[in-house]
Amino acid sequence: MKKKLLIISGWAHSIKSIQPMGDRLSKKFDTTLISGTDALAMERLPENDFILTGSMGGLIAIERLPQCCKKLVLLSATACFCKRADYMHGTDSRVIKRMVRQLDKDPKTLIDKFFMNVHSPQKPSRQKKENTELDINGLKDGLYYLKETDLRKLIPRIEIPILIMHGKDDKIIPIGAAEWLDENLQKSELIIFEGMGHALAAHAFESTMKATENFLA
């Protein structure tokens, strides 16, 4: 019987954006895909042996980690998205406030700008069109969650093994956030991708999938 693997997308990413990962990993695992927006609305995540996620999905997984989960894979993730007085590996909270206002005025332009930072210029996102159709209220809920959530106190208490993969040139979540996670988790492995940004699964698909398969084996 295959082990169960839950894959959660990040902010402004639909299930379509993680479908290639689901298709690839379904050969070895019983995969379930949910969007970050849907995961945020859940009180509890579905019971699974493993979770693969990143960005906002990483925060959700860390906060609501099912007891039966044996391993966690984090792509471009953080324990605290916004900067704090004692934590500088994040985004200024004023950026989030501006994004909330822009969602009301011109959501398409905001999403397009976001994906320009997520994806490298050489490989434009295929998800731009589909993500402009996402629920605006759901996007706002995600931004509020990113702004308010600080899970740093939870990190040292997590006992399961965690694989962290992060692009060194990530413009959304600085590499320092991944290094902080690696330093404060009990059982972690950090893989840094040189020259890569936030969308690791899009631009380093084979490498991230092979690392995931090896880690979960």
Give the residue extent of every domain in the chain.
4-87+143-216
C-alpha–C-alpha distance, residues 65 and 71, integer Å: 10
Name the pTM for this structure: 0.94
**Above 50 in pLDDT, residue 125?**
no
The predicted-structure confidence for 148-191, as pLDDT tens digits, reads as follows 999 999 999 999 999 999 999 999 999 999 999 999 999 999 99
Active-site annotation holder among 9, 55, 120, 125: 55
The predicted-structure confidence for 4-55, as pLDDT tens digits, reads as follows 999 999 999 999 999 999 999 999 999 999 999 999 999 999 999 999 999 9
The answer to whether residue 170 is catalytic is yes
Strand order in the sheet with 71-75: 30-34, 4-8, 50-54, 71-75, 162-167, 188-193
- pLDDT score, position 119: 81
Confidence of residue 135 (pLDDT cuts 50, 70, 90): confident
Active-site annotation holder among 76, 120, 170, 203: 170
**Above 70 in pLDDT, residue 129?**
no
DSSP state of 65: -
The answer to whether residue 106 is catalytic is no
The answer to whether residue 198 is catalytic is yes
Report whether CATH 3.40.50.1000 matches the domain 4-87+143-216: no
